[in-house]
Structure 1
Amino acid sequence: MSSGSLPGTEDVAGSYEYLAALTEKVGGPDLHYGYWTGPEDRSTIEEATERLTRVVIEGLKAVAGDHVLDIGCGNGRPAVAIAETTGARVTAIDVNEHALERGRAWARERGVGSSVSFERCDALAMPYSEASFDAVLILETTPHFMPEPLFAEMARVLRPGGRVVLETPCLRAPLTVEMRSRLAAYFDMFQVLSIEPEEVYARALRAAGLEIEAAEDLTEHTEPFYGRILERFDCHRDELAAEYGAEAVERVESAISNCAAMSGMGSILLTAFKPVFPPLTG
């Protein structure tokens, strides 16, 4: 365990489970960025994360009868929303069994328990046949992987003609030594392996045999997220300190504060599809 880590955060599943109470208290249960419409938008984190969920679901263009894969589903809120709003069947995967249980409970509560399957598996070795899914969602899961092997496995299980929606943190400027140092504690706590510029994700999608349909910089919409989280630390500091200890809470807050101050960080939305006919070679 590195000096920036906290006990219980040595792997992705452990990190998200150990910090679940804290992250959901300050960042909401969706476990992804929020989408704000502009500087005057005072939407809550929960309202903004639901808005981003709607944005990515629209990109999937899923309909009733489709089978959608949600890679790194967390607590399952987007997976359930896909089933509710499109009528599609959803397979949602993650490595955190406790998060999967929360997803199953949420699906039952929302009346779509039979439409969403929550399964524990490794996204780099999924137990699904080729061309099993009509669409794939990767919502802020990419930082836990190198993009090339993740996208190759995703493309394998996507049917020809199927769509991919990828929303991820990205670099808008080269990652300097100073930036790496300031982000080290955050990367350690949340098991971040890789955050790349947009062109790296685009190149990896193409290498996986996918064609990019659209790319949108979401940074101006997602930028308020970390600042809104920091506001909530003050509101919940005593109860979080009682559960984690004041020092641990301060360390997490400091790590998030460094992200909030990092001008070179952003967010992108990429949509792509798998061609029905592979390109001719030779």
Structure 2
Amino acid sequence: MWRSAFDHFLKGLMTRDRLIVRFADGSTAHYGPDTGQTATLHIKDDAILRGLCLNPVLALGEGYMDERIGFPDLGLLDTLKLLQGNRSTTGFPAWLRALNLARYHMRRFIQRNRPDRARANVAHHYDISDAFYALFLDADMQYSCAYFPDPDMTLEAAQDAKKAHIIRKLCLRPGDHVLDIGCGWGGMALTLARDHGVRVTGITLSENQLQTARTRAAQAGLSDKISFRLEDYRKTSGSFDRIVSIGMLEHVGVPNYGTYFQRISDLLAPDGVALIHSIGRSAPPARHDPFLNKYIFPGGYVPSLSELAGAMEYAGLWQTDIEIWRLHYAKTVRHWLERFNAARDQIRAMHDDRFIRMFEFYFTICLIAFEDRMQGVYQFQLAKNRSSVPLTRDYLYPNSHPQGPSFSGA
């Protein structure tokens, strides 16, 4: 039954390139025209055919992790890119479209992410170990999209450029109190306090990141300027001149967007500025990614702009600037994957091969999402007062406009 369904699936999918499937019994089948590229998919266990028909991305990932699926010709990345290229030219079979629609409507149940669940979700990924993440991240441990105004920049330089670009958007003033929601290992907070004369409160749900961030602040002599807390954004109180949140909105979940942006509004001073940096879809809303949700980021979801706009509007926040980064995250992930592959022997001393293949598949599908699908990064600059930021974007590019920012004319 499932082999017949799989055969039907691939006949509809492969319209541009050619896929050769080698089955566990030694037989082969060919799909697609004799044009374009050719790739081979080796299915070593026919039991996985059911999953490939009902939840293909998850089944491909699990099959690769368990070595029940191989990509002998082009390798993992190029084979998945070939499949993605054909997917964009045709639709899935009716049964899979129906299942995906059901999964789409289940988002509001899967992504409720109440405080206890949110903390467990964060621990699942971010509390692995600093030593592991240090093998592929930059020296400042920035685990979000870097910014490449020069495509030949190193990862370290591009992450510094990301922080600098965000900080310009915050329009800081000496003595400002900044809230960093989802502060990670503390890199942005340290940069803000050390280089810009502000106080920072950083909140996270990761105990591992919290301890590292506190240690880094102490070692830098900045403990009097930075406070790190294990705290859910829904529990934070006070008033802050500036709010920054980098790579955290992806963990909030569809049911909580209204709460998230209302908390931004409640915590922001009347003349305050917030900068929210998040992966986003330049396409209609979709279901959550089944592989990432199960193995990497439980409760996570990449929002479409249409899902966020209403929440920002109802929170009474001016959208003073919205910027969309295309391909910057693809370059970032390529750097991470290159470093990850170079460090395989060190990683193997920490984790088994199944874990390594899991992370490799994670990086691969993320890379394809940013290079071949409608996925990028949004930066939302928000304010209660339209006059809290300059009236033009010239201040974001100081090298082009040496006269500096102007706050007049508000």
Q: Please indicate the TM-score interval, normalised by the length of the shorter structure.
A: 0.7 to 0.9
Residues 10 and 104 (structure 1), Cα distance of their counterparts in 2 relative to 1, 3 Å cut: closer
Q: 1:78 aligns with which of 188, 191, 199?
A: 188
Task: Give the alignment partner of residue 44 of structure 1, picking from 149, 154, 166.
Answer: 154
Is 1:133 aligned with 2:206?
no
The residue aligned with 2:263 is 153
Structure 1 residue 251 corresponds to structure 2 residue 358: yes
| TM-aligned CA deviation for residue 16 of structure 1 | 0.4
Alignment of 1:98-137 (within 5 A): 98-126=208-236, 128-129=237-238, 132-137=239-244
Do the aligned partners of 1:186 and 1:252 also contact (CA within 8 Å) in 2?
no
Matched, 1:241 2:351: no
Quickly say closer, same or farther: Cα 1:56–1:192, change in 2 above 3 A. Answer: farther
Gaps of 5+ in 1: 278-282
Task: Work out whether residues 318 and 386 of structure 2, in 8 Å CA contact, stay in contact via their aligned partners in 1.
Answer: no
**Bigger mean CA offset, 214-223 vs 161-170:** 214-223
Q: Where in structure 2 are the equivalents of 1:259-274 lying within 5 Å? A: 259-262=366-369, 263-274=373-384
Give the counterpart of 2:176 among 40, 59, 66: 66
Structure with bigger gyration radius: 2
CA contact (8 A) 2:145 2:328 kept: no
Q: TM-score, normalised by structure 1?
A: 0.86
- Asked if residue 210 in structure 1 is aligned to residue 326 in structure 2, the reply is no
Higher alpha-carbon deviation: 50-59 or 66-75: 50-59
- Residues 186 and 256, structure 1, Cα contact 8 Å, conserved in 2: no
- The CA deviation at 1:15 is 1.8
How big is the shift at 1:198?
2.4
Native 8 Å contact 2:285 2:307 kept in 1: no
Identity among equivalent pairs (%): 25
1:164 lines up with 2:271 in the alignment:
no
Compute the TM-score of the two structures, normalised by the length of structure 2. 0.60
Q: Is the 8 A contact 1:37 1:221 kept in 2?
A: no
- Partners of 1:195 and 1:221 lie apart in 2 by 16
Residues 326 and 377 in structure 2, CA contact (< 8 A), matched pair in contact too: yes
In the alignment, what sits opposite 2:21? none
Counterparts of 2:318 and 2:188, CA distance in 1: 24
Amino acid at match of 1:34: A
In 2, Cα distance between equivalents of 1:148 and 1:223: 29
Distance between the aligned counterparts of 1:204 and 1:168, measured in 2? 15
Q: Deviations over 1:173-227 (max 9, x none)?
A: 23567xx5xx422233123522112233233222211111011111243331112
Distance 1:52 1:199 in 2: 25
Match status 1:26 vs 2:140: no
2: CA distance, partners of 1:234 / 1:276 = 47
Q: Which residue of 2 aligns with 1:191?
A: 298
Asked if the contact 1:219–1:268 (Cα under 8 Å) also holds between the matched residues in 2, the reply is no
For residues 19-66 of structure 1, the C-alpha deviation after alignment (integer angstroms, 9 at most, x for no partner) is 54333321331221111124xx23222221121111111111122211
Cα contact 1:24–1:31 (8 A) shared by 2: no
Structure 2 portions without partners, runs of 5+: 1-57, 66-118, 388-410
In the TM superposition, what is the alpha-carbon distance from 1:237 to its structure 2 partner? 0.6
Q: 1:149 to 1:238 in 2, by over 3 A?
A: same
Give 1:280's aligned residue: none
Tell me the distance in 1 between the aligned counterparts of 2:129 and 2:357: 13
Q: CA shift at 1:99, angstroms?
A: 0.8
Matched residues in 2 for 1:158 and 1:36: separation?
30
Contact 2:285 2:304 in 1 (8 A): no
Label 1:204 to 1:271 Cα distance change in 2 as closer, same or farther (>3 A).
same
How big is the shift at 1:98? Answer: 1.9
The one-letter code sitting in structure 1 at the alignment partner of 2:326 is T
Name the CA distance, whole Å, in 1 between partners of 2:233 and 2:153. 33
Aligned length: 265
**Corresponding residue SS for 1:53:** helix
Range that drifts further, 66-75 or 15-24: 15-24
1:275 aligns with 385
The higher-RCO structure (CA 8 Å, 6+ apart) is 1
- Aligned equivalents of 2:285, 2:268: Cα separation in 1: 32
Hey, what's the Cα distance between the residues in 2 that align with 1:276 and 1:125?
Answer: 27
Q: Name which of structure 1's ranges 136-145 and 195-204 shifts more when overlaid on structure 2.
A: 195-204
Aligned counterpart for 1:97 among listed residues 207, 210, 228: 207
